[in-house]
Amino acid sequence: MVKGELVAVRVTGTSGQPHLSWAEGALLSVPHAWLRERGFLEDLDANGRCAVERALPALIPQEASRVRLWAAYTEKRPIPLRLRPWFRMVPTSLRNYTASRLGRWQRRRIRHWAMFPRWPLDLSADFFADLVTGESSPFSAGPTPVVLTHDIDTLEGLRNLQRWFLSLEESVAACSTSFIVPHRWPIDHGILMDVLDRGHEIGVHGFDHSNRTPFLSGEKQQSRLARASDLIERYEIRGYRSPSLLRTRSLMKSLGRFYEYDSSIPTAGGVFSVQGTGCGSARPFVIEGIAELPVTLPRDASLRFLGYNPTEILRIWKLCAEYISRSGGVIVVLTHCEARFSGNAPMFEAYRRFLDYVADSDHMTFSTPDEVLQKGLGLSERIEREERAQAVPRSGRREKELVAGAV
């Protein structure tokens, strides 16, 4: 199936290239032009599939970043944001009921809105990155890092973080990063200091959670970002996450003045708040001059919106974590501590069981954003330098056997 210029591709073999073996059997998305230029389209059978094994010209770095940035931005305002003045007039109970019905309907339509990135996980960009470099990911050699993060949307969420989530994480020798909204609800600095004193980290979660900042002019964006300066200095904040994971190119350009990294781009964003967006990567990279730590596991809000129950969510998290681990990626978990998301007994139990799963694993380890970025950005920065320099890549690298087909 072609979405714009992307074609679904099934990898059936990797021609003895160990750094690509993680992708065997995976359904990935590649640019239609890339297939056409290399003659794959000529081999399609009547069912739209082909098996190919041939030596191909080496890839250029732009082909890897092109896939990664294909749906990385959310430049168009989501419908709820455009309808906000009228949306607020609808009773909360009716909004929740409508959202529940809509989410379950969208769950039955996954094949329609999740062509790229595919739901619940799509690592197409990482496949291309490995083709470009001819090397394995820097995270392939050791245990897979698992980074725990929370979006704290309300004071209720902050209190639940302190009461329940921190102790649970400490019981498995993990620490988390909690992203706080600076200008919407009264911040309890006593709790934030306790979070910091216990070895956890604080990040900034937008401005007032109205989802307007990404769509403002660059000057207004920077004005809003600057108003969190006191919070940044007080709690040694290094990271930012945009509410609802809404991000524009202009926002990314503005963030570098205030933060060391961003974590607003999902690997596969699902249906909320903008359908079919994400970077198709589970590894850190550099975008518009700032380090990006993608949200790699499906986040609790999207899963709940689509009607998955806690047992199903735990199973999805485990399956995605194992695939990310095989690919040489980083597992980044995003949960909310409010009762309507993960701050209720069934979801909290699912979170606890996932942490136990990681703690008992021999190939995963809890980590922090700083540790991940220090290890993982070298390769991304090298690819970025090669792109800027228009370097001629190595030749003689063999492609793999592919089966390309409509799905």
3 state DSSP class of 136: coil
- Which pLDDT value is given to residue 157? 98
φ, ψ at 337 (rounded to 5°): -90, -5
Whether 124 has a pLDDT exceeding 80, the answer reads yes
pLDDT 10s digits, 32-67? 777 777 666 665 444 444 443 444 445 666 777 888
Peptide bond into 120 cis (omega under 30): yes
Residues 6+ apart with CB under 8 A from 34: 63
The structural domains of the chain, ordered by start, are 133-384 (3.20.20.370)
**Across 287-300, average pLDDT:** 96
Q: Which residues pair with 2 in a beta bridge?
A: 7
d(CA 117, CA 280): 6
Q: Are 110 and 307 in contact (CB under 8 A)?
A: no
d(CA 328, CA 311): 26
The three-point CA angle 126-71-252 to 5° equals: 95
Q: Are 359 and 172 in contact (CB under 8 A)?
A: yes
Q: DSSP per residue over 167-234, as a string? A: HHHHHTT--EEEEE-SSSS---HHHHHHHHHTT-EEEE--SSSSS-GGGS-HHHHHHHHHTTHHHHHH
- Which pLDDT value is given to residue 2? 44
Q: Are 77 and 215 in contact (CB under 8 A)?
A: yes
pLDDT 10s digits, 341-369? 999 999 999 999 999 999 999 999 999 99
Instruction: Tell me the HSE value of 342 on the side-chain side, using a 13 A CA sphere.
Output: 29
Burial tier of 79 (Cβ tally within 10 Å: 0-12, 13-18, 19+): exposed
Q: Are 257 and 235 in contact (CB under 8 A)?
A: no
**Across 159-165, average pLDDT:** 98
Taken as a whole, the chain contains a residue count of: 407
Q: Which residue has the higher pLDDT, 348 or 3?
A: 348
Helix, strand counts (H, E) of the chain: 17, 14
Q: Which residue has the tokens 């730590």?
A: 293
3 state DSSP class of 374: helix
How far the first Cα of the chain sits from its last, in Å, is 6
Average pLDDT, the chain: 84
d(CA 105, CA 129): 35
Q: Which residue has the tokens 């455009």?
A: 82
